[in-house]
Structure 1
């Protein structure tokens, strides 16, 4: 049985506020680039889905368990009937945020150099900017959007939070810090990346040759040492239930 939230009676004014915000935030755009309102509001979509669109942002060192836990959450939410999507860091690097080497064959070296992303500080910033924009689009249609990225810099995560909550509502961005000690991640090393980083074969590797800025006040702080991925996933699902993202039995 599905319980639908009460339909907001100020949907039109809310839509106007969104259009105004987006146009103001795009003040540096060319004059012909404007934000267009949509006939189906976010509130209408959320009412239809019986859930609240949001972004659940997993962050942590490589090998900390982000993808494993995010996939467990995705499965549990699907079993509850929720509409979700999962954006995974490795998968995104194959297309939307592909590196120059991958883009050269199809688009040529000039395109690849301009739009391909590596792992330096500026490239990481652009990687997270793109992901944040995509995540916002999903959330604005009422989808519970899970993202699993190292996202090492606090400033980049904060920018995504501001985007999600400015376009949507406070609380729409749920930061999940998967707190696993570096030593544990390095022992796991499922992809052999830490070994290569220690040998100098990989530059700008988070935790070794590039910093990770841990969230001081995440919405959810997962300590992985003494709990299984399933138990940690349950914590996140319970948080979403308690905070109104899931409006169903």
Structure 2
């Protein structure tokens, strides 16, 4: 069923690669006009691949003025905002908490949590002016269960989940739905080998995931599409694991 986002305007952060790129392309294929935001420069490639329905914008989501400008771009270029995928994120250093630094804490929480906060702060008022919309925040399975040497990342993603639930309640009766997707181990730029190999090796086995394989960016994009579309019109406040059964295994 094509055209599920026909006439909609979307912002996707972290659109230069991985889940963000796959989501921006899928949203556009389903009829949306898309602001492709990223800090890497690769947002230009994503927007170019999509064509006239997309515009690229260099954005540091940890800087409020840049996020505010991103939302203004969606309004100025496409006339509004219906879908906001707060996807930009970083892994940060994998260390024991006693070995982490304040700088690392500020960086990871600044991008992963504050970036989501800024997106909703500036995106939701625009949605309200046109009757509502859908916010999708990329959290992680690490926000639902603990991962060794990932205290900062887990804290940031757990914060995303709880912020999602609180904001969903705040706007549930005003037409704005707020949900989160929680990827498990997914073959994205956070995986060192992913830059050289766009797909996981055929013999790659993930013993800690019941499905025994890596997740794909396209699978996360499909979940984001469901939450962006009217097919999920009675869904809000959900933290949806897309993880091959990891959190229930």
Higher relative contact order, chain-length normalized (CA < 8 Å, sep 6+) = 1
Task: Choose 1 or 2 for highest CA Rg.
Answer: 1
TM-score by length of 2: 0.43
Q: Which has the higher strand share?
A: 2
TM-score by length of 1: 0.43
